[in-house]
């Protein structure tokens, strides 16, 4: 367990859980309130999940973003199934917090702002390493989300280009209404197919998540408290929460493909 002094930069990153490079549960932390809250959420949720039923053999992985405590503050990361060096299962959480000015006005674009960061986190979480020091270096090298212009296509253009028939606007209105009533919504993303797999997770499911976010914003659901994009290889979902997440939500995310 490592306690680190808070760095003087706009974004800082923390991690905990299990990874094949570590012998047991580890923590790389600045002991921020956000990290402590997410670590507790993961721990309580996973403990409740394992008591309730046998673990699903599917590998779950979720990209997420969440509101910070102050205007301009943003949280993002990845939480996914993992295990330690002797194969004992437990999730891995990599989470960052920092400023992204103006994100509240364009929250539907966050799946694209976080795109490269999420790719880096997933690479770190699954790549082969020579030792724990390599993992620490990887955590320190994580790039902040990017809302700069100068892309080949802007997030708005990618959303506009991904408005095919996979989303029915009447269904979008119903989902927004449900989100207002129930404070959460679990939205299946379109069926897996080989062409989409070749195009990539980002250009397929990420674009759908951006489109759904845009529609929910249009129909007045407000800025969510947190959004998760993921599931398992067999099926992906968009989970939207308009309230603080709890242990039951962890169980829900880790059970979306359970019978």
3-state helix, strand, coil in the chain (%, to 5): 40, 20, 40
Neighbours of 246 (CB within 10 A): 13
> Hey, what domains does the chain have and what are their CATH numbers?
2-144+154-253 (3.40.1730.10)
Would you tell me the crossing angle of helices 132-140 and 115-126 to the nearest 10 degrees?
170
pLDDT tens per residue across all 259 residues of the chain: 444 445 456 899 999 999 999 999 999 999 999 999 999 999 999 999 999 887 778 899 999 999 998 999 999 999 999 999 999 999 999 999 999 989 999 999 999 999 999 999 999 998 888 899 999 999 999 999 987 654 544 555 555 555 544 566 777 778 888 888 889 999 998 754 444 444 444 457 888 898 889 888 988 778 999 999 999 988 999 999 999 999 999 999 999 988 6
Q: Do residues 77 and 95 lie in contact, with contact meaning Cβ atoms separated by under 8 Å? A: yes
Kindly report the pTM of this predicted structure: 0.88
């Amino acid at each position: 367990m490592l306690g680190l002094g808070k760095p003087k930069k706009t974004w800082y990153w923390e991690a905990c859980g299990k990874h094949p490079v570590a012998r047991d549960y580890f923590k790389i932390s600045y002991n921020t309130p956000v990290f402590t809250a997410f670590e507790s959420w993961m721990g309580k949720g996973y403990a409740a999940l394992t008591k309730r039923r046998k673990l699903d053999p599917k590998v779950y992985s979720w990209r997420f973003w969440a509101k910070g405590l102050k205007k301009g503050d943003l949280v993002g990361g990845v939480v996914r199934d993992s295990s330690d060096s002797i194969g004992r299962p437990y999730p891995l959480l990599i989470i960052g917090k920092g400023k992204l000015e103006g994100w509240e006005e364009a929250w539907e674009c966050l799946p694209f702002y976080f795109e490269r960061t999420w790719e880096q986190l997933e690479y770190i979480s699954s790549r082969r390493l020579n030792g724990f020091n390599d993992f620490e270096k990887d955590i320190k090298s994580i790039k902040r989300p990017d809302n700069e212009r100068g892309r080949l296509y802007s997030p708005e253009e990618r959303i506009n280009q991904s408005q095919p028939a996979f989303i029915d606007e009447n269904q979008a209105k119903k989902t927004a209404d449900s989100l207002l009533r129930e404070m959460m919504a679990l939205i299946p993303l379109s069926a897996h197919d080989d062409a989409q797999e070749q195009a990539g997770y980002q250009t397929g499911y990420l674009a759908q998540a951006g489109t759904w976010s845009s529609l929910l914003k249009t129909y007045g659901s407000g800025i969510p408290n947190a959004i998760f994009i993921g599931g398992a290889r067999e099926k992906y979902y968009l989970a939207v929460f308009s309230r603080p997440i709890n242990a039951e939500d962890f169980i829900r995310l880790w059970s979306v493909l359970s019978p």
